[in-house]
Structure 1
Amino acid sequence: MNIIFPDSNSALLPGAQAVVSMETPGARPTQGIVLDNETVGTQEIVPWGAANNFPQEILKKGRKSTIIPTALKWQANMIARKVIPFMVDFDDDGKEKLSYVRDPEINNFLTSRHFKRYQKESANDIFWFLNIFPEVILSKNRQKITHLLPNDASYCRIGTQNKQGVSEFLYHNANWPNAAYNSEQTDKIRMIDPYEFDLVGWVREQHTKDFKFIYPSSYPTPGNAFYQLAHWDGIRSSGWLDVLEKVPVLKKSLLDNQMTIKYHIQIPNSYWETRFLDLWKKASPDEREAMKKDVVREINRRLVGAENAGIAMATEFGISEIDGKTIEGWKIDVLPDKLKDGAYLADNMEATAHLLYALGLDPTLVGFASKEMGSRSGGSDKRESLLIYYEQLQPYKDVLFEPLDFVAEFNGWKKKYPGLEFRTHQSLLTTLDTGADAKKVPA
């Protein structure tokens, strides 16, 4: 077969009627250049939100919720588990075969306190923002990555793109939006382009003066080129989160301002003269008021208190000597307790259900049960919901492990152990009739 080279990047195979394109070392896929209309007084960074404070506002709003921080922590804990290295192969039936990798260098890396902090902090950022910006630290000879360190995503801002559509730097400052890209407190760190074909060579050879890099990893969402938008953000933009915020405020106001009156006692005007006789006639207005208060105080003492529960109370009424009719007597009415009616309960339940939907959590997993919403919280419901949830976790694990996969490639671990993958133990709940506890499987 004759092979013709029309240019240095392709080969023409006439017999096969095909053209084979060969990538030039260092080439990368074309990225669109995004022109952001929002600026914060500089063209050096891409603002995260109109005022460059979107993550700070999300954290402030989310922390007011009794559900969001705990739910996101619960999800982060599902992927921030002990990481185990395996060589993965498949048999003829496509069934997975795992071989545990006993390598001191790999296991020392995975069990280091630095990597454990990376796991916990980055897992939380994934579920809060769908973005993580960890640092990879190179050895002095630039042949190994020695550390993978976390950065708080809310402190990170991506630099603007160059002519090739690549953001070359990340700017780290804990004081956004009240910070400048060129201030002494802002750390400017070269950022790895994950779309680069020869990524190991690019890091090792192209930037020989840099010993730390940012490896950005994210769960892609449509229309967001720089900062992703968490899937649960719809609960905020739709207004349901505002409903949840207002319910406790309204309940507190109701408790603070509602008069806690249990009884309404109606006493005829004629009672006082009958009760106090000449004392009433001779008393001044202030003295009469004091006499009334003494009577009401005594009545109140008899009506309230645990020791008075179930007591009998007697009042008198007379018969008119003129017409023989009953003279108006006392009347005691028990007032209904509005707080027992569950004011705003239905609104709270509905808003909570919407929040759990937005978070992607089956209500049964967090103990939410409501006959009105058709949800239960039994053992079988939890077990099946957890299995379904496990199936949804892998893409988020991929975000967490993508920088680790680059470490494995850079350090030569993947070459040394073909099919090297990183897994975590996943607990599978069992039913009581099996006679077994929850079992763990690599996932």
Structure 2
Amino acid sequence: MQQLLFSSAGSTAYWRGSGPLAGSVVRGLGFSAAAGSAGGNSATQDGATPSSPVEKGQNGDVALWGEANDFPQQVLKSLESNTILPSVLEWKTRAVYGGGVVYGRVTDFDGSGNEIFKRERLPDVEAFFRRSNIPRYAYEGLQNLFTYAQSYPELIQSLNKQKITTLTTQDTAFCRYSVPKANQPVPDYVHISANWPDAKPGDEYTTSVPVLDPYYEPVEALKADTRGFKYIYPLALPSPGKALYQLASWNSIRRSGWLDVAQAIPEFKAAMFKNQLSIKYLIETDERYWKWKYPDWDTKTTEQRRQIIGDELSDFEKTMTGAQGAGKSILSVSVQDPRTGESVSAFKVTAIDDKVKSGLHIEDSQEASSHIYTALSVDPTLVGISPGKGMGAGSGSDKRIAFNNFISTHRFHQDLILEPLYLVRDYNGWPEGLEFRFLNPLAQTADVSKSNTSTATGGQSDNAEPANN
């Protein structure tokens, strides 16, 4: 009985014999001859597999994500304590999702080289979209990419392994890789649990799912793999220098200190509002006033003097505070010094500066907010006004141009989310020319025809015009 089952390209084989390699997918040199005997063409077969750098130093069952294996959970804490990050990340997800995922064929190109994309309705694809709830898959996948720079789609096969029946996605914060081995293109498993960093592979709350290599013949590898009926097809935005877990570019705001500044300002102001002395006026009186008004002042007891001063202050507050005090006049009393004959003002009233009303730290708040929006790669005009004295949401033209530029620069994110659908297409035997797109509404000026307000983008082509079905 043949022990190696080769892929159609002849460079990947599944070992179905016994021994330590049982159930392994084998890749390497020297397969071309064996594959050639099965009808392969050695001139078109790969002579080697792509290189896969693996970071050494980790051991055990789980590749730690962060020193305490709780990096995603720390990111969530940062999100929950900031007023900008969560809403803008959600806005990015909604904007890039647009009108959702559609499918069809590219029938031609117009004079400018743009695709003419015609949507279709195929019963098998429609059934798969409904069963997999593709809108939810696409939205959650984009959300994972924007938050963590990686997403973990899960493919589920039929019982006879002839079809992929369902495509879903796991929450990135709940996923951890198994420790990769030397020369291994991807780790063997993704461990899924809502209890990190305390979860352990093998416990009743943790599920371990085999991983496919998205870079090299995933369809053939999936056909040859017998580790189960569900597989993780990992997606990631490239992050320089990261061998396993990628790092979202916006995380720089967490390490730069600006997120701490943005958080410290509201905490400081909240403490100021809570603890500030509610004193509006400083009232100073000359001692000679009391002796002038009360000739027996020197013979009065301390308690009597306090009572008299308190009554005077109460009368002053009735005059100066509240709506009843509006428009009232204050009588300023002057007394004559009996020794010098000099006229002395009995009262001196000084208004105390209210630092809260003066907008303390507004400039700092605005600068911190600007750094956050920059880290998120979002023009503030797209999501509302920025905190600060110069509050403004921008003009309609600013928003339109900023939105269209934003959509046009997120094509790769859409392509990543659509990538597993091409695997499903090829595995399930759907039409080879079937393409998948995100339907992106674009902001237009008022004089542009409504028929040109959206484009279907994504997959493996340039911007395309929507078909009129």
Q: Provide the TM-score with structure 1 as the length reference.
A: 0.86
Question: In the TM superposition, what are the counterparts of 1:58-207 in structure 2 within 5 Å?
Answer: 58-80=75-97, 81-91=99-109, 93=111, 94-112=113-131, 114-166=133-185, 167-197=187-217, 199-207=218-226
1:260 and 2:278 correspond = yes
> Once the two structures are aligned, what percentage of the paired residues are identical?
31
- Residue 318 (structure 1) aligned to one of 332, 335, 345: 335
Q: CA deviation at 1:79?
A: 2.8
- Partners in 2 of 1:436 and 1:106 — Cα distance? 29
- Residue 250 (structure 1) aligned to one of 268, 271, 279: 268
Question: In the TM superposition, what are the counterparts of 1:40-439 in structure 2 within 5 Å?
Answer: 42-80=59-97, 81-91=99-109, 93=111, 94-112=113-131, 114-166=133-185, 167-197=187-217, 199-207=218-226, 210-278=228-296, 280=297, 283-320=300-337, 323-368=340-385, 377-415=394-432, 418=433, 420-434=434-448, 439=453
- Partners in 1 of 2:50 and 2:426 — Cα distance? 20
Deviates more, 1:158-167 or 1:129-138: 158-167
Residue of structure 1 in register with 2:53 after alignment: 32
SS of the counterpart of 2:346? coil
Q: Which amino acid aligns with 2:293?
A: R
For the Cα contact (< 8 Å) 1:142–1:211, is it kept in 2?
yes
SS of the counterpart of 1:70? helix
- Partners in 2 of 1:243 and 1:437 — Cα distance? 46
Q: CA deviation at 1:263?
A: 1.1
- Partners in 2 of 1:296 and 1:371 — Cα distance? 39
- Partners in 2 of 1:438 and 1:307 — Cα distance? 62
Question: CA 1:326–1:437 in 2, change beyond 3 Å: closer, same or farther?
Answer: farther
For the Cα contact (< 8 Å) 2:369–2:387, is it kept in 1?
no
Q: CA deviation at 1:180?
A: 1.9
SS of the counterpart of 1:141? coil
Q: Provide the TM-score with structure 2 as the length reference.
A: 0.82
Question: CA 1:112–1:267 in 2, change beyond 3 Å: closer, same or farther?
Answer: farther
Question: CA 1:437–1:196 in 2, change beyond 3 Å: closer, same or farther?
Answer: closer
- Partners in 1 of 2:96 and 2:170 — Cα distance? 18
For the Cα contact (< 8 Å) 1:429–1:438, is it kept in 2?
no
CA-to-aligned-CA distance 1:279-314 (integer Å, 9 cap, x gap): x55543123212211221121121000232222111
- Partners in 1 of 2:329 and 2:449 — Cα distance? 58
- Partners in 1 of 2:247 and 2:148 — Cα distance? 6
- Partners in 2 of 1:314 and 1:437 — Cα distance? 75
SS of the counterpart of 2:55? coil
Question: CA 1:8–1:143 in 2, change beyond 3 Å: closer, same or farther?
Answer: closer
For the Cα contact (< 8 Å) 2:53–2:243, is it kept in 1?
no
- Partners in 2 of 1:432 and 1:101 — Cα distance? 30
User: Structure 2: which 5+ residue stretches go unaligned?
Assistant: 1-29, 34-41, 458-469
RMSD: 2.7
SS of the counterpart of 1:221? coil
- Partners in 1 of 2:171 and 2:50 — Cα distance? 29
- Partners in 2 of 1:301 and 1:438 — Cα distance? 68
Q: CA deviation at 1:163?
A: 4.6
Q: Which amino acid aligns with 2:181?
A: N
SS of the counterpart of 2:343? coil
Q: Which amino acid aligns with 2:193?
A: N
Q: CA deviation at 1:345?
A: 1.2
Deviates more, 1:429-438 or 1:233-242: 429-438
SS of the counterpart of 2:170? coil
User: Structure 1: which 5+ residue stretches go unaligned?
Assistant: 1-6, 11-18
For the Cα contact (< 8 Å) 1:45–1:157, is it kept in 2?
yes
- Partners in 1 of 2:326 and 2:71 — Cα distance? 56
CA-to-aligned-CA distance 1:249-305 (integer Å, 9 cap, x gap): 121222223222211111122223433455x55543123212211221121121000
For the Cα contact (< 8 Å) 1:134–1:150, is it kept in 2?
yes
For the Cα contact (< 8 Å) 2:178–2:190, is it kept in 1?
yes
Residue of structure 2 in register with 1:13 after alignment: none
Residue of structure 1 in register with 2:462 after alignment: none
CA-to-aligned-CA distance 1:181-217 (integer Å, 9 cap, x gap): 23232211111111232x223212331x511111111
